[in-house]
Amino acid sequence: MTGEGVRPARFRMNEDPESQGAAEFIRDRLYFATLRSKPKSTTNTHYFCTDDEFVYENFYADFGPLNLSLLYRYSCKLNKKLKSFTLTRKRIVHYTSFDQRKRSNAAVLIGGYAVIYLKKTPEEAYRSLISGSNASYLPFRDASFGTCSFSLTLLDCLQGIRKALQHGFFDFETFDVDEYEHYERVENGDLNWIVPGKFLAFSGPHPKTKVESGYPLHAPEAYFPYFRKHNVSTVVRLNKKIYDSKRFSDAGFNHYDLFFVDGSTPSDAITRRFLHICEGTDGALAVHCKAGLGRTGTLIGCYLMKHYRFTAGEAIAWIRICRPGSVIGPQQNFLEEKQAAMWLLGDSERSQKAKLEERAVSNLITSMDDLNLNSAHNGNMCRSPSSDHLQEVELTDGGLSLTQGDKLRALKSRRPPRPATTGALRLDEMKIHSRSTSHPLRLSMGAGQGLSSPLKSSRFPASSASAAAKRIGRSPSSSASNIRSSALTSRLAASLSDLYAADMEEERKTPYSPPPPPPPLCVSALPPPPWSRLLSVAMVTPLTLAARSTRSTTTVVRMALRRPLQ
Of residues 192, 188, 186, 172, the one with CA closest to residue 215: 186
* Range of weakest confidence among 76-90, 201-215, 227-241, 531-545: 531-545
Query: Which pLDDT belongs to residue 345?
Result: 96
Query: Hey, what domains does the chain have and what are their CATH numbers?
Result: 1-173 (3.90.190.10), 176-359 (3.90.190.10)
289 belongs to the catalytic site: yes
* 356 vs 307, residue with greater confidence: 307
* Range of weakest confidence among 13-22, 157-166, 319-328: 13-22
Quote the CA–CA distance of 174 and 526 in Å, as a whole number: 69
Catalytic residue among 49, 148, 157, 289: 289
Quote the CA–CA distance of 161 and 163 in Å, as a whole number: 6
H or E stretch at 26: strand 22-26
Query: Which pLDDT belongs to residue 353?
Result: 85
Cβ pair 531, 451 in contact under 8 A: no
Quote the CA–CA distance of 342 and 300 in Å, as a whole number: 12
Cβ pair 265, 334 in contact under 8 A: yes
Query: Which pLDDT belongs to residue 365?
Result: 66
* 320 vs 351, residue with greater confidence: 320
Q: What is the pLDDT of residues 386-413, one digit of tens each?
A: 334 333 333 333 444 433 233 332 333 4
Radius of gyration of the CA atoms of the chain, in A: 50
Q: What is the pLDDT of residues 219-233, one digit of tens each?
A: 999 999 999 999 999
Q: pLDDT band for 262, please (50, 70, 90 cuts).
A: very high
Q: What is the pLDDT of residues 376-385, one digit of tens each?
A: 444 444 343 3
What DSSP character marks residue 24?
Answer: E
Q: Enumerate residues 6+ apart whose C-beta is below 8 A from 331.
A: 263, 264, 265, 294, 295, 297, 298
In a 10 Å sphere around its CB, with 0-12 CB exposed, 13-18 middle and 19+ buried, how is residue 69 labelled?
buried
Q: Could you tell me the CA-to-CA distances from 169 to 134, 321, 465 in Å, in that order?
A: 31, 12, 104
Which residues lie across from 234 on neighbouring strands? Answer: 254, 285
Count the Cβ atoms, other than its own, within 10 Å of residue 306: 24
Query: Which pLDDT belongs to residue 140?
Result: 99
* Averaged pLDDT for residues 67-90: 97
443-461: string of b/e by CB count within 10 Å (b at 16+)?
Answer: bbeeeeeeeeebeeebebe
Q: Spell out the SS3 assignment of 312-340.
A: HHHHHHHHHHHCCCCCCCHHHHHHHHHHH
Q: What rounded mean pLDDT belongs to the chain?
A: 76
Q: pLDDT band for 434, please (50, 70, 90 cuts).
A: very low
Q: For the chain, give the percent of residues with pLDDT over 90.
A: 56
* Averaged pLDDT for residues 153-163: 99
Q: What are phi and psi of 29, to 5 degrees?
A: -140, -50
Quote the CA–CA distance of 181 and 187 in Å, as a whole number: 12
Q: What is the pLDDT of residues 272-298, one digit of tens each?
A: 999 999 999 999 999 999 999 999 999
Q: pLDDT band for 3, please (50, 70, 90 cuts).
A: very low
* Range of weakest confidence among 74-83, 155-164, 497-506: 497-506
